[in-house]
Structure 1
């Protein structure tokens, strides 16, 4: 019920329902992940952005963009030192990330969350392109990332729109 109210509130603020759903899921995930570490002092939502302030003074900005047109351009537009992009785990998003891999791997502090809240397997997989490009060789990179992608049920734009009606 509380989740539904949050989604309705975000939609009333002008967010498309698929985006509102993903923002709601990511905020809840972030809070749950922090239950053990207790590092977060504040979580602030600003439309598609989720700003996470930590007790140590660090600020992390996550941009929720369900199906971005250009991963590289989007990542470069986020100015914070620690930044993230939250997307649905679709084949198009995976292919788009791979197409921009060289560009993304040059951006320090970037983390990408591939999410499917409706998955019967894992709900998300996470990658930091800058770090992953340093620890894996080019030949095994695509195969390794594809394995991570398949740990979460892929979801299409049409399925997201249907499930978040």
Structure 2
């Protein structure tokens, strides 16, 4: 079995470093910090990241409102539905970003939402429809498919 968590940690760190290539705000990145998968030290803050392929309720016990937090999750309907059904709880975390990812998408690889900010500007009656529309920028992926793609990638790198 491939280690999906480790793959997503490494992939996300590369993604964030590439995104920061121009601004150069990242000072340091540490893995396995204080119960988080990794932390990115920026010039003005530290952002803690949790890799969670499938969003679940226990996440709310692992974060504090004053922390800068990023959830890295798979872009799929189940995670969008979780986001919609837990919207009122999510908007309580001012500095929470949710990164919906598919490292193997032929379209974009990531879309991100800050529920607190999005709630200020969105039409709440069409929240689910709006998130589904945004999610179409990245191909949907489930755990089994991600596992298979990582396994193929590792097999190809051996050849």
Per-residue CA deviation, residues 63-97 of structure 1 (Å, 9 max, x unaligned), is 11112322xx4145223521110011122111111
- CA positional deviation for 1:140: 2.8
Per-residue CA deviation, residues 28-55 of structure 1 (Å, 9 max, x unaligned), is 0111111111111100111751101112
The yes-or-no answer on 1:82 pairing with 2:68 is yes
Retained in 2: the 8 A contact 1:62–1:86? yes
Retained in 2: the 8 A contact 1:85–1:112? yes
1:113-124 alignment runs, 5 A limit = 113-124=99-110
Retained in 1: the 8 A contact 2:81–2:128? no
Aligned residue for 1:146, secondary structure, equals: helix
The yes-or-no answer on 1:96 pairing with 2:82 is yes
- Structure 2, gaps ≥5 residues long: 152-159
1:118-133 alignment runs, 5 A limit = 118-133=104-119
Counterpart position of 2:43? 55
Retained in 1: the 8 A contact 2:69–2:95? yes
- Structure 1, gaps ≥5 residues long: 1-10
- CA positional deviation for 1:141: 2.0
CA RMSD of superposed structures (Å): 1.8
* Pairing partner for 1:65 from 39, 52, 56: 52
Aligned residue for 2:138, secondary structure, equals: coil
* Pairing partner for 2:129 from 129, 133, 143: 143
More helix by share: 1
TM-score by length of 1: 0.83
Aligned length: 148
Retained in 1: the 8 A contact 2:70–2:96? yes
